[in-house]
Amino acid sequence: MARRLVKEILRNPQEHIGEKVHLSGWIRTLRSSKHFGFIELNDGSFFKNIQIVFEEKLSNFEEITRLPIATSLEIEGTVVESPGSKQPVEIQAEKITVVGLSDHDYPLQKKRHSFEFLRTIAHLRPRTNTFNAVFRTRSVLAHAIHTFFQERDFVYVHTPIITGSDCEGAGEMFHVTTFDLNNPASIPRTESGETDFRQDFFSRETNLTVSGQLEVETYCMAFRKVYTFGPTFRAENSNTPRHAAEFWMIEPEIAFADLQDNMDLAEEMMKFIIQYTIDRLPEEMEFFNQWIDKGLLDRLHNIVSSTFERITYTEAIELLKKAKQTFEYPVEWGRDLQTEHERYLTEKVFQKPVFVSDYPKDIKAFYMRLNDDEKTVAAMDLLFPGVGEIIGGSQREERYDYLENRIKEMGLNVDDYWWYLQLRKYGTVPHAGYGLGFARAMMYITGMENIRDVIPFPRTPRNAEF
RNA sequence: UCCGGAGUAGCUCAAUGGUAGAGCGGGUGGCUGUUAACCACUAGGUUGGGGGUUCGAGUCCCUCCUCCGGAGCCA
């Protein structure tokens, strides 16, 4: 008798007919009548369930008919052709052993639940069809990212999660401290009354990282092509379906490269990871297409075969000014594009992904390379229909004097960036990189509309239960 | 954080200011091929918290909390 996974049987059902098998898994649903019954068993290996037929002749038949959903079982039986039309084969059970009984108050029913409710039981929701598909996809998509970069000789760099001071300057950060906040009187103070971080664990103020970019640039100057893939944190009070306080980000960085090379890489990567996922998870993608987002597969196929549009910020402003529709926020050169503007460009004008590049320097970060016009920087955002900004990147300022000036212009402290500036002193090269929000890519590929539903245990304001 | 909507049984939702209900889920029984199985019976409620108006509040008013959506911040 062979131990089998449901995936092995259901991927090649004909090859297993007549085979004696030993299965184990959980009851997804159970239906019984007086003399026989059906169990849909999920063993974790496959999105789909296998049907178990059990009959009166089993010694524990009565017990089995009353088993609650989620009960775990060991099953011995024979693979047979199924008379029913919904499955090619089923298991004729010869022995069913209860491994772990479930309780009758198991909260998941054999019907649709709202995503809101399922978020309150994040420890159980991976057992539902939707979240089973989502989180298997998440695993495969993560692997797709690594495959893409590893096949192209990128070096994977683990940048730190705890970071010194707020050098990165990208939004609110979570403090990291060993001071006892329950006992404020015990927290050391300087003579001027401020918290004395010199006496804290790291002898300085530390935070959770908002980006690994600055650190990964240092490795870029050694390995030429590098990427990070890890968690980042934002303490913003953002209450939207597209923001989380903890999320994973992919940040490639390439040396001897400019903004066009950067966009080429981003476009190639997006197409690769989409195709990779579609190829490996046909059942899950079909499920998303049918139940989550009807046009999903068409749209994804379209992305893979299309050429992403590339326009400059200045061209985008002209397009928006010519638009027939009115916008809530004014369109004016020098102001940042609003969500409504980005959506208009990617959903109405081009109806496909759009790179917008060369933004005014005053609305972008200090490290972005100043263009020859001295008014714009070599920045780019990739806008996707439906999810908006999915990638933000730039060519980095590789010229020491320019970078130093920009740091000062932005009111930042040059001393804080001593090691970052030294990269421009010791053999500087043009280089570029970008950040891809992993969860946002997940949303786009699965059709899920809320970031809280593509992160196993999402952290958002007021929510860190699990 | 701002704007809007919502909060009633385990879940999804009804209920003109006048006796709180249904479907699903749970329990019990029935049923010889089911597919969110079906049929019958049954248990289940501090209507988010607090305050107010009223003879009477799930319903009207105030306030707080939480969730959802839009916006901002961004990835």
For residue A401, pLDDT beyond 70? yes
Pairing state of beta strands A431-437 and A246-255? antiparallel
**Whole-number average pLDDT of chain A:** 93
Q: How many CB atoms are located within 10 Å of the residue A182 CB?
A: 6
- pLDDT above 70 as % of chain A: 99
- Give CA angle at A71 (A128, A105), nearest 5°: 75
Interatomic CA–C1' length for residue A33 and nucleotide B32, angstroms = 8
Interatomic CA–C1' length for residue A363 and nucleotide B49, angstroms = 44
Grade residue A168 by pLDDT with cuts at 50, 70 and 90.
Answer: low
In the chain, the amino acid numbered A267 is E
Question: Which window residues (398-437, chain A) lie with Cβ within 7 Å of strand B?
Answer: 435-437
Can you tell me the distance from the alpha carbon of A200 to that of A458, in angstroms, rounded to the nearest whole number? Answer: 29
Contact between A244 and A459 under an 8 Å Cβ cutoff? The reply is: yes
Query: Would you call A304 helix, strand, or coil by DSSP?
Result: helix
Contact between A96 and A54 under an 8 Å Cβ cutoff? The reply is: yes
Interatomic CA–C1' length for residue A47 and nucleotide B5, angstroms = 36
- Indicate yes or no: strand B within 7 A of the C-beta of A38: yes
Give the predicted TM-score (pTM) of the model.
Answer: 0.94
What mean pLDDT is predicted for residues A194-200?
A: 94
What mean pLDDT is predicted for residues A398-419?
A: 92
Over the range A263-286, which residues count as b (16 or more CB within 10 Å of their CB) and which as e?
A: bebbbebbbbbbbbbbeebeebbe
For residue A375, pLDDT beyond 80? yes
Angle of the A438-446 helix axis to the A259-280 helix axis, nearest 10: 50
- Indicate yes or no: strand B within 7 A of the C-beta of A347: no
The string of pLDDT tens digits covering residues A63-93 is 999 999 999 999 999 999 999 888 999 999 9
What mean pLDDT is predicted for residues A150-164?
A: 96
Grade residue A170 by pLDDT with cuts at 50, 70 and 90.
Answer: low
Interatomic CA–C1' length for residue A119 and nucleotide B21, angstroms = 28
- Confidence (pLDDT) at A109: 84
Can you tell me the distance from the alpha carbon of A107 to that of A125, in angstroms, rounded to the nearest whole number? Answer: 10
Can you tell me the distance from the alpha carbon of A446 to that of A267, in angstroms, rounded to the nearest whole number? Answer: 19
> Whats the size of chain A, residue-wise?
466
What mean pLDDT is predicted for residues A416-441?
A: 96
DSSP string, A95-140: EEEEEEPPPTT-S--SS---HHHHHTTTTTGGGSHHHHHHHHHHHH
Tokens representing A57?
A: 């002749």
Interatomic CA–C1' length for residue A114 and nucleotide B21, angstroms = 22
**CA distances, A258 to each of A253, A315, A395 (Å):** 11, 20, 6
Tokens representing A151?
A: 């096949």
Residue A383 CB contacts under 8 Å (≥ 6 apart), including other chains: A342, A345, A346, A353, A354, A355, A356, A389, A390
Question: Which window residues (119-158, chain A) lie with Cβ within 7 Å of strand B?
Answer: 119
The string of pLDDT tens digits covering residues A88-106 is 999 999 999 999 999 989 9
Can you tell me the distance from the alpha carbon of A54 to that of A94, in angstroms, rounded to the nearest whole number? Answer: 8
With residues binned 3-state (H G I as helix, E B as strand, rest as coil), the percentages for chain A, rounded to 5, are 35, 25, 40
Grade residue A22 by pLDDT with cuts at 50, 70 and 90.
Answer: very high
